[in-house]
Amino acid sequence: MHFDLTEEQALIKKMMRDFAEGEVAPGADERDRTKQFPEPVFDKLSKLGVMGLPFPEQYGGGGADTISFAIAVEELSRVCASTGITYSAHISLGGAPIHLFGTDEQKENYLIPLCTGEYLGAFGLTEPNAGSDAGGTQTTAKRHEDQWIISGSKCFITNASYAENLALTAVTDRSKGTDGISAFIVPTDAPGFTVTSNYEKMGLHASNTTELVLDSVAVPEENLLGKEGNGFKQFLATLDGGRIGIGAMAVGIAQGAYEKSLQYVKVRKQFGQSLSAFQAIQFKLADMAMTIEVARNMVYKAAWLKDQGRGFKKEAAMAKLFASEMCMKVCDQAVQIHGGYGYMKEYQVERFFRDAKLLEIGEGTSEIQRMVIARQIGC
Ligand SMILES: Cc1cc2nc3c(=O)[nH]c(=O)nc-3n(C[C@H](O)[C@H](O)[C@H](O)COP(=O)(O)OP(=O)(O)OC[C@H]3O[C@@H](n4cnc5c(N)ncnc54)[C@H](O)[C@@H]3O)c2cc1C
């Protein structure tokens, strides 16, 4: 066992660090204030060739591993979590189900444009009355001749305003419970499909969060993703991978908040000394550094298991849960270390604190992660 990054992973880390500092960090505060989606950043990420980082080169992807994907998410989130979530959802929720369950033709049609960055990937599972209990999906798909007619609504869907197609779940046979839920690839410009983004959020202001309304949207038979009745299982499997992305976001945001704190304590003086001279402050920073390191190792381990083709459900849930709760604590302490200035927007840790909260909610809340882990350990 060794803990070094491979040469390729180290190169990707350096490339993403340089990109994040040069292209993402400078506008992050302004985008948070104006709620402007980082479109120019994504144009540049497409040119950099990383929009399909972990997907096969055959489909325009980068052929990199999941650890590299986690590193990319971490580096973007370290400076701008809105950019981090957009990228993470694009790959781990938008591209992954097509890569995992799509036919060759579907991969040609729908994975390639995601990998080249032509448009963004999105994933429609959550509904107004089916959140943690995603098996309670109410959206329906009814077969009519050689088409599926989909009706219903989805909420809180990341990236859909910038997606030309997205995978979503709908009930095809109510009598079969979760085995009666199927997944479909739906063009967002189909007649009857409305995408709106009117949410007023706590954080991640520059990310795109949408509501989808489907009013008898017709899609051809071949847009069924995977087998009929497998949609729920497919989406849960997709979320296992997505949790690595959320864990990586948590590590990145926490790292950013920790670095800002470390800089601040060296320059801020009280009682005639730098804050860094006070042991109470040193201990806060030591705890931050330690817990970030633990979380990073957990995220990379889950990613490594995935890359080995081994089971990683438990490890991904543990990594997501530990990293997101760690991130919230680190951001809380970062604000504390900055005192009154930490409460002001100028020092950025306030933005990190607001953005971090989503990580304990999205892709399965902390309570749901504990349920997943409990089942995995045989409770
Ligand atoms: C910014 C943002 C982006 C998102 N992006 C997407 C996306 O791209 N695609 C998508 O499909 N969804 C997305 N979501 C939705 C997200 O996954 C859900 O919000 C989340 O799964 C929780 O569902 P809910 O909001 O309905 O909460 P609820 O399920 O109503 O939960 C409310 C509370 O009850 C708790 N709870 C629920 N059931 C149990 C139980 N059995 N035991 C104990 N406690 C329980 C929960 O943990 C939570 O604390 C996004 C959400 C946000 C806020």
Judgement on whether residues 16 and 73 belong to the same structural domain of the protein: yes
Judgement on whether residues 238 and 364 belong to the same structural domain of the protein: yes
Give residue-wise pLDDT tens across range 36-50. 999 999 999 999 999
Tell if the pTM clears 0.85, that is, is over it: yes
Predicted local distance difference test score (pLDDT) of residue 70: 98
Residue 230 scores a pLDDT above 90 = yes
Q: What percentage of the chain has pLDDT greater than the value 90? A: 99
Give residue-wise pLDDT tens across range 252-305. 999 999 999 999 999 999 999 999 999 999 999 999 999 999 999 999 999 999
Distance 132 CA to ligand 1 centre (A): 5
Judgement on whether residues 241 and 347 belong to the same structural domain of the protein: yes
Specify the CATH number for the domain of residue 255: 1.20.140.10
- The packing angle between helices 66-79 and 7-19, to 10°, is 20
Is 1 a domain residue?
no
If you take atom 9 of ligand 1, which residue's CA is the nearest one? Answer: 157
If you take atom 25 of ligand 1, which residue's CA is the nearest one? Answer: 131
Q: Which atom of ligand 1 is nearest to the CA of 368?
A: 47
Is 327 a domain residue?
yes
Is-contact 261 219, C-beta < 8 A?
no
Predicted local distance difference test score (pLDDT) of residue 156: 98
Is-contact 265 274, C-beta < 8 A?
yes
Judgement on whether residues 196 and 176 belong to the same structural domain of the protein: yes
**Full DSSP string of 245-278:** HHHHHHHHHHHHHHHHHHHHHHH-EETTEEGGG-
The arithmetic mean of pLDDT across residues 12-24, rounded, is 98
Judgement on whether residues 106 and 69 belong to the same structural domain of the protein: yes
Structural domain count of the chain: 3
CA distances from 50 to 15, 115, 147, 346 (A): 10, 8, 35, 31
Question: Which residues touch 171 (CB under 8 Å, ≥6 apart)?
Answer: 137, 138, 139, 140, 141, 180, 181, 182
Write out the E strands in the chain.
123-124, 140-144, 147-158, 165-171, 181-187, 193-196, 209-220, 224-225, 269-270, 273-274
Residue 55 scores a pLDDT above 90 = yes
Domain final position from 196, 214, 232: 232
Give residue-wise pLDDT tens across range 214-226. 999 999 999 999 9
Domain final position from 116, 133, 166: 116
Judgement on whether residues 284 and 342 belong to the same structural domain of the protein: yes
Q: Which domain holds residue 64?
A: 7-116
Judgement on whether residues 310 and 180 belong to the same structural domain of the protein: no
Rounded CA separation 88/103 (Å): 23
Distance 13 CA to ligand 1 centre (A): 31
Judgement on whether residues 250 and 196 belong to the same structural domain of the protein: no
Is-contact 330 176, C-beta < 8 A?
no
Predicted local distance difference test score (pLDDT) of residue 1: 82
For the record, the structure tokens of 206 come out as 């520059």
Specify the CATH number for the domain of residue 19: 1.10.540.10
Nearest to 333 by CA among 273, 262, 249, 245: 262
The arithmetic mean of pLDDT across residues 238-243, rounded, is 97
Catalytic position from the list 75, 325, 350, 363: 363
If you take atom 42 of ligand 1, which residue's CA is the nearest one? Answer: 367
Judgement on whether residues 255 and 370 belong to the same structural domain of the protein: yes
For tokens 């089971």, name the residue.
311
Is 2 a domain residue?
no
Predicted local distance difference test score (pLDDT) of residue 106: 98
Residue list, ligand 1 pocket, CB within 6 Å:
89, 93, 123-126, 131-132, 156-158, 204, 209, 358, 361-365, 367-368
Predicted local distance difference test score (pLDDT) of residue 2: 87
Is 185 a domain residue?
yes
The conformation of residue 212, written as its DSSP 8-state character, comes to E
Is 361 a domain residue?
yes
Judgement on whether residues 98 and 157 belong to the same structural domain of the protein: no
Domain final position from 185, 217, 232: 232
Q: Across the chain, what does the average pLDDT equal?
A: 98
Is 290 a domain residue?
yes
Q: No. of H helices and E strands in the chain?
A: 13, 10
- The packing angle between helices 349-356 and 81-88, to 10°, is 30
Give residue-wise pLDDT tens across range 311-360. 999 999 999 999 999 999 999 999 999 999 999 999 999 999 999 999 99
Is 38 a domain residue?
yes
Residue 135 scores a pLDDT above 90 = yes
Specify the CATH number for the domain of residue 177: 2.40.110.10
List, as own/partner pairs, every contact residues 342-348 make where C-beta atoms lie below 8 angstroms and the sequence separation is at least 24, other chains included. 345/29, 345/32, 345/33, 347/260, 347/264, 348/28, 348/29, 348/256, 348/260
Distance 235 CA to ligand 1 centre (A): 15
Distance 365 CA to ligand 1 centre (A): 6
The arithmetic mean of pLDDT across residues 172-201, rounded, is 97
Write out the E strands in 273-378.
273-274
Judgement on whether residues 243 and 345 belong to the same structural domain of the protein: yes
If you take atom 14 of ligand 1, which residue's CA is the nearest one? Answer: 156
Is 349 a domain residue?
yes
Judgement on whether residues 219 and 237 belong to the same structural domain of the protein: no
Active site residue 363: yes
Distance 361 CA to ligand 1 centre (A): 6
